[in-house]
Amino acid sequence: MPVILPVKDKTPQWGDDCFIAPNATIVGDVTLGNNCSVWFNAVIRGDVNTITIGNDSNIQDGAVIHATYQKAATYIGNRVSVGHNAIVHGCTIKDRNLVGMGAIVMDHAVVEEYCIIAAGSVVLENTICESGFLYAGTPAKKIKPITDQQRALLNQLPDNYIMYADWFR
């Protein structure tokens, strides 16, 4: 069974048709939309601030979603894929984005729609990632516009994770 715990009278909530892996952890002030998936060993810790995740988003294996006490809530939009072992902390990830495996997005950063944060990249505090670009490196820098193929991937990947989640129901 996943660890689902209230913190200070705030209990995690989720919409219809969500998959939460048996060893995922979701605590506190967390809201997930419909058709979300939270994969094995992922942690969504809404103990110190609010975490909101939109529809059709997936939080992959080992990812950590957290926030900063009294300073930075976390917002993840619709159709967002947060890759394996990524950290999303006190920031805003708008719709149709990919946060690559092992990437880190820090407090008050904003990732506009249709961005790819490359695997292993670090998006520093207060960074604005402009819509339609690939960001990579430490610290993450705007590398180049995403291609039509990458845009199609951002549209398709959430549907893949909805399908994968169905395998476990």
Number of H helices, E strands in the chain: 1, 20
Q: Do the Cβ atoms of 3 and 21 come closer than 8 Å?
A: no
- For residue 162, the SS3 value is helix
Q: Model pTM?
A: 0.98
Domain boundaries, the chain: 3-166
Q: How far apart are CA 89 and CA 73, in angstroms?
A: 8
* pLDDT tens track for 56-76: 999 999 999 999 999 999 999
| CATH number 2.160.10.10 is the correct assignment for the domain at 3-166 | yes
Residue 169 has pLDDT above 90, yes or no: no
Confidence tier at 130 by pLDDT (50, 70, 90): very high
